[in-house]
Amino acid sequence: MSKLDGAEVNSDVVPAHIAIIMDGNNRWAKKKHLPSIAGHTAGASAVRRTVEVAAKSGVKVLTLFAFSSENWKRPKPEVDGLMGLFMRSLKKELKRLNEHKIRLKVIGDISGFSKPLQEQIQRVEDATKNHGQMTLVIAANYGGRWDIAQATKAVVERVVSGELSIDDIDEVSLGEHIQLADLPPPDLLIRTSGEERISNFLLWQTAYSEFVFLPVLWPDFDQSHFKSAIEVYQSRQRRYGGR
């Protein structure tokens, strides 16, 4: 058993992999008559809280949707602010990740980021690669359709090179090139803000995930909401297409 916000949680049925669509930063800021970057900064604090409680509750993989491939369409000042916040968070949180033995993995097309940001991502990934308490995955410049397309391209390249025949292409061979192929698929997908869609996030990986949609805006997400989502997950029977 493990403790979560003062309550006992059955660690045998805590999801091994939780994915979260962190939605609501802008609405949170707007409600408080603040600029959008204030919402994203408050959202970063919610990330810190969530990483800590996930690790304490026995979650092995926590995947957070930080920046989608569609988010580039947002106003340039907001995008620039997000990039700066990402850089500062990577620098600031490295010590905390090392202290708690948490590995960082970034998925997505990071070639779209500035060279300094790419280098900082690589530094933090290298510094934490041997940690085993939990893997924190940040999906940045990520889209589920992009993910499937890049995996398809990788398989086609193997066919062209003669390493793989067309008849060998199946879910397994394609899945080997999907992002997170080295990790178990998400057991639970949480989305905050009350929206009930997955917005091009982990389309392949969440085929049999349980979805929980919460009305809370992401900056207000805390241990009680995390615990509530896990309780909903624990109340469900997962059939994987069977009875």
Per the CB < 8 A criterion, the answer to whether 87 and 117 are in contact is yes
23 tagged catalytic: yes
- Among 71, 200, 220, 222, which one carries the catalytic annotation? 71
- Among 5, 12, 23, 141, which one carries the catalytic annotation? 23
User: What is d(CA 117, CA 82) in angstroms, rounded to the nearest whole number?
Assistant: 12
DSSP 83: H
HSE, side-chain direction, 13 A CA sphere, residue 108: 26
- Say how many residues make up the chain: 243
> E-strand spans in the chain?
2-4, 7-9, 17-21, 61-68, 102-107, 134-142, 188-191, 210-213
User: What is d(CA 148, CA 158) in angstroms, rounded to the nearest whole number?
Assistant: 16
Per the CB < 8 A criterion, the answer to whether 19 and 202 are in contact is yes
71 tagged catalytic: yes
State both tokens at 183: 């990790």
User: What is d(CA 194, CA 46) in angstroms, rounded to the nearest whole number?
Assistant: 17
**Residues known to be catalytic:** 23, 71
